[in-house]
Amino acid sequence: MSSFTPRQFVLLVLLTLAWGLNWPVMKLGVADYPPLAFRAVSTWLGLPVLGLALVLMKVPFRVPRSAWPELVWLAATNMFVWHALMILAVKALSGGRAAILGYTMPVFSAVIGALLFSAALTRRSWLGVGACAVGVGLLLWHELTDFAGRPGYVALALVAAATWALGTQLLRHTRIGLPTLTLSFWMTALTGVVTTLLSLLFEREEWRWPGSATWGSVLYNAVLIFGFANAAWFYLARGLPPVASTLSVMFIPVLGVFSGAVWLGEVVHWQDWVAVALMVVAIASVLWPSRSTAKA
C-alpha cells in the first residue's frame, strides 16, 4: 500500500470531518424541503467557491473538446447518481444509517477493481475490506427491521454506492491530463444541471423559499461539500490506489452515526462501538506503512 503524504493525510482528516458531520446536516436540511431542489441549490452556490479556488491557484478552466465525453462519464459515475439517489435516501432514512449504506462503497470498489481492472489485492487489503464489511453490518444491526419497510430507498443507497465505486476506479484510471480542480469544477457544474432538471421534472410543485434550517444546511453543503470535500476526494482518489483511497474514508459513516445521535437523538448501541474498532482496523490497513515503505 502507498503511504500517505502529509498533505494527503491532512486532506483526509478534513474530508472525514466535513462529510461525516454532513449526514445529520443533510437530514435537517431536507426535513421540510424537496431533496433534489436542496441538492441543486447547494451545488450552484458551491460552484463559485470552487471557481474562486481555481482562480486563486491559477488552475485553468479550459477542457479540450476531445476530453468532454470521458468527463461527462466521470461526472455521471462519481456525482450524478450519487448526489441524486443519496439525497432521496437521506430524506426517507435516518441520516446515520443512510451514511452506512452509502459507505458500502469500498466493498463494491474492491470487487469492481478485481473484476474490471485486474486489481491484485494484498492480504492487508482483504483484511481492510473484510473489517469494513463486518463493521457496516454491525452498524446496520438495529436498522434491518426498519429498512424492511423501505426496501426501495435502501436499494437507491446501494446503487449510489456501487456507482460511486465504479466512478472511483474510473477516476483512478482516467486518461484526461487535466488538474483535479478543473475536473471537479466541471463535474460539479454538470451535476448542478442534472439535479436542477430532475427537480424541475419531479418537484416543481414543491418549490418554495427555504427556511432558516434549510439555508444553514445548504450553505454547509455549498462551501464544505461542493466547494471543498468533493475536490479533496477526487485528489485523493487520483493520487492513491483505489483500495487505499476508499478504505481511508471509512470513519465517515461512524462519525455520521454518532453525530446523528448527538444532534438528532438517534440511539447508539454496542454494535456501533465494535464497528468503530473495525473501521479503525480498515483504515490502519491502508494508512499504516508496510515494512518496505518503513525501511525506505
Q: Is residue 1 part of a domain?
A: no
Q: Is residue 241 part of a domain?
A: yes
Residue 154 to residue 27: CA distance in whole angstroms: 16
Q: Is residue 28 part of a domain?
A: yes
Average pLDDT over residues 215-232: 96
8 A C-beta contact, residue 119 and residue 242: yes
Per-residue three-class SS string for 51-110: HHHHHHCCCCCCCCHHHHHHHHHHHHHHHHHHHHHHHHHHHHCCHHHHHHHHCCHHHHHH
Q: Is residue 193 part of a domain?
A: yes
Average pLDDT over residues 175-191: 95
pLDDT, tens only, 247-273: 677 777 777 777 777 776 766 666 767
Least confident of 28-32, 65-69, 98-102: 98-102
Torsion of CA 3, 242, 22, 232, to 10 degrees: 60
Average pLDDT over residues 275-295: 60
Q: What is the pLDDT of residue 5?
A: 83
**Cell output for 219:** 450553505
Residue 274 sits in which domain range?
Answer: 6-295
Q: What is the pTM of this model?
A: 0.84
Q: Is residue 202 part of a domain?
A: yes
Average pLDDT over residues 73-94: 93
- Domains held by the chain: number: 1
- Calculate the average pLDDT of the chain: 84
Residue 256 to residue 97: CA distance in whole angstroms: 8
